[in-house]
Amino acid sequence: MPNADEMPADTHPLATLFLACVVILLTGLGVSAALGRLVYLPDFVTRVEPFRQQLLESLGLHDRHASGRADELARFDGRFSAHPFATLMHVAPGGLFLILAPLQFSARVRSRYLPFHRWSGRVLVLASFAVGSSALYLGLLMPYGGAGEALAIALFGGLFLAAIGRAVVAILRKNVDRHREWMIRAYAIAVGISTVRAIGALLDVTLSPIGVRPTTIFVLSIWTGWVVTLGSAEVWIRVTRRRVRTRPMSSAA
């Protein structure tokens, strides 16, 4: 995902503004979720539940699985309270990744503060290793959404780690264009976790009242959120590839 000062000069200002707003919103959502789970590690989602209830009531909607909701929440939160180390190893570096990564795409930051870019890049690689390995641990060994979630985590978690690896190899070979593209993919998967949440909330409000199970909604939101975010990143890479390659190395974004 690009920063506003990353856009090629002929990008429409409204498109620039729209992308910047989306990135800021998704980053804010992801960092808030990470902070929420950090502070209320054993029962964050249970604590948020009254707000969900209020929303459903204000819309005049009724969750068809309301009677089993408490058990469902206990099952969801229980995995984090039973595995506090894996949870911390996931959400703390995850929040840090979301805060630092957008700055890496800023040509202004890179040209003025190159040592910061390099050190922040190393921190990001370490953070992504912690995020990716804990994601595989949580998502493959105890998936809330069953096989549908495990498959998504294997795919997108694997892609996330592979993208970081390819980005590191590319920059060691001084291939800035490839480095940029793989970092955009890695960032899209990371920030995709926020798209998953936004889509999850929307699907919850629309599908719970017609009786769709919470695990099904969870799995649907995971696949939709990541496919949409990674797909958008892929489009962005292709649209900007040729233009970016004509620019000098220090300003390639």
Of 45, 201, 237, 252, which one interacts with ligand HEM (CB under 6 A)? Answer: 45
Residue 30 touches ligand HEM, criterion: CB under 6 A = yes
7 vs 220, beta carbon nearer ligand HEM: 220
Calpha distance 18→12 (Å, rounded): 10
Residue 73 touches ligand HEM, criterion: CB under 6 A = no
Residue 91 touches ligand HEM, criterion: CB under 6 A = yes
CA–centroid distance for 185 within its chain: 11
Q: How far is the CB of 131 from ligand HEM (least distance, A)?
A: 5
- Kindly report the number of other CB atoms within 10 A of residue 169's CB atom: 13
Calpha distance 202→199 (Å, rounded): 5
Residue 34 touches ligand HEM, criterion: CB under 6 A = yes
Burial of 245 (0-12, 13-18, 19+ CB in 10 A): exposed
Calpha distance 241→236 (Å, rounded): 8
> Which of the residues 119 through 158 are near ligand HEM (CB under 6 A)?
131, 135, 138-139, 143-144, 149, 153, 156-157
Instruction: Give me the 163-202 binding string for ligand HEM, x by CB under 6 A, dash otherwise.
Output: --------------------------xx--x---------
Residue 23 touches ligand HEM, criterion: CB under 6 A = no
In total, the chain counts a number of residues equal to 253
Helix (H, G, I), strand (E, B) or coil at 141: helix
221 and 214 in contact (C-beta within 8 Å)? Answer: no
Q: How far is the CB of 81 from ligand HEM (least distance, A)?
A: 11
Helix (H, G, I), strand (E, B) or coil at 88: helix
Calpha distance 117→253 (Å, rounded): 13
Of 83, 90, 180, 185, which one interacts with ligand HEM (CB under 6 A)? Answer: 90
105 vs 160, beta carbon nearer ligand HEM: 160
183 and 6 in contact (C-beta within 8 Å)? Answer: no
19 vs 31, beta carbon nearer ligand HEM: 31
188 and 231 in contact (C-beta within 8 Å)? Answer: no
Of 7, 27, 94, 170, which one interacts with ligand HEM (CB under 6 A)? Answer: 94
Q: Using CB under 6 A, list all residues that contact ligand HEM.
A: 30, 33-34, 37, 44-45, 90-91, 94-95, 97-98, 131, 135, 138-139, 143-144, 149, 153, 156-157, 160, 189-190, 193
